[in-house]
Amino acid sequence: DAGVTQSPTHLIKTRGQHVTLRCSPISGHKSVSWYQQVLGQGPQFIFQYYEKEERGRGNFPDRFSARQFPNYSSELNVNALLLGDSALYLCASSRDRDRARPQHFGDGTRLSIL
Amino acid sequence: GQQLNQSPQSMFIQEGEDVSMNCTSSSIFNTWLWYKQDPGEGPVLLIALYKAGELTSNGRLTAQFGITRKDSFLNISASIPSDVGIYFCAGSTGTASKLTFGTGTRLQVTL
């Protein structure tokens, strides 16, 4: 089975622009989470969606939003981009919200803000 | 945001040596996970731990869930060059929804 797929793999934007990142979970996985990984640090939790509803939100500004579609794929949107938004954005999926079913990550989208 | 403390931050070892690293938290977790991340890739799950005191192995890797539920340990035996990478611990307090990651341990193996 295919793993978590994310697109695009790389993206360059300028300050003030808007960006949309996409994620397709592993087949059969209903939960999708988004993480931001700044260079040299561990991933930071942004959002979790399960059954198309937001189930958790990290400490990120309202410029960050996300949604999950009926096929369980997800989009992460970031408005009014800042230089500090430059990071690797990771998507992770799990079969459900059960802690015994850990998350599996995609290879991420590398976002660079100029 | 919060990050768990991992030590050591980085380590150079010779091929064939055993490796130990740990992760500590000021908060209690009821799930501990260990991931490995290679350059340009996402984290790959190595071991999952669900009970305090639990000791779990995956090939040459062994991880333990600390009794206090505030720490976890990862050991790699007989290291090989492909063990090179960054190892992250991650903790969860409830569902699988939100993981809090550590600061990472960078492992480099010399021949």
- Asked whether the CA dihedral B50, B54, B56, B61 is positive or negative, the reply is positive
CA distance A18 to chain B (A): 23
Spell out which residues of chain A touch residue B92, defining contact as CB-CB under 8 Å.
99
- The pLDDT value recorded for residue A103 is 85
Residues of chain B with pLDDT under 70: 1, 95-97
Spell out which residues of chain A touch residue B91, defining contact as CB-CB under 8 Å.
none
CA distance B56 to chain A (A): 14
Task: Say yes or no for a CB contact (<8 Å) between A94 and B100.
Answer: no
pLDDT in tens, A41-83: 999 999 999 888 998 899 999 999 999 999 999 999 999 999 9
Q: Which residues, in sequence order, are CB contacts of A29 under 8 Å at separation 6+? A: A72, A93, A94, A95, A104
- The pLDDT value recorded for residue B1 is 65
